[in-house]
Structure 1
């Protein structure tokens, strides 16, 4: 029963395991630890009392690596599908945005045409009212009738333009 004071690296070399595994084993067995002058951890251990058989390296890890590799490939495939779907949604969004812009332009144009048509109708109605008043008071009915005919023609022409546009 000889107690030795070893670093994790030396303990790992003696037990044929890695320094990280040696540290984990020392913590699990609650072995007394201290610090050396150079700052490394030292473990007080009786190697005769430790019954440690290292697991074969690679067999368990190879299965885990294959499993994680398969999961990684599946996740990468899912990411690619999601990116493709997002690109499709983005294209749909851009198409609908352009369509909405065109509809807004058409709406503004129609509104401007309606406003112009209302103003023209109000102006023509005012002229008709003036002509009717003159027709009642004025003796020159021929001029009034001619002007009423011109206004009627203007109204018909404006209506045709509005129907075409």
Structure 2
């Protein structure tokens, strides 16, 4: 084939490579270049002399990119789990507060019942004491009363009643 004058874009199309790769190829082979009237660079090339076959390369990903992607996905999963756990915890918190209120009400009722029970026991003891007094014969009760009264009180009352007659 004869020598042709091609731009980097045209050379890239013929060789099925990008214009940047065509420019690097021209530099590597030190092919003669010149400027056209429109300002583009023209390359003198004999395509039969260039044995170029485009190499398919793996995508240019930086090393560790897969690890970073996997970690980002894992972080997203953990954040979703965290939101779910916060929702569950909020439900448990409301249950806890409801049970605390219920416990406080039951405790208040228990204390009130305990106070009423103590008062009832005191009243029972008082009434049992009075009942035991009533069950005694009247003479014993009278003797019991006089046992607790001091003798001076009886003398004073007896003297007063004698004077008033």
TM-score, normalised relative to structure 1: 0.43
Structure showing greater Rg: 2
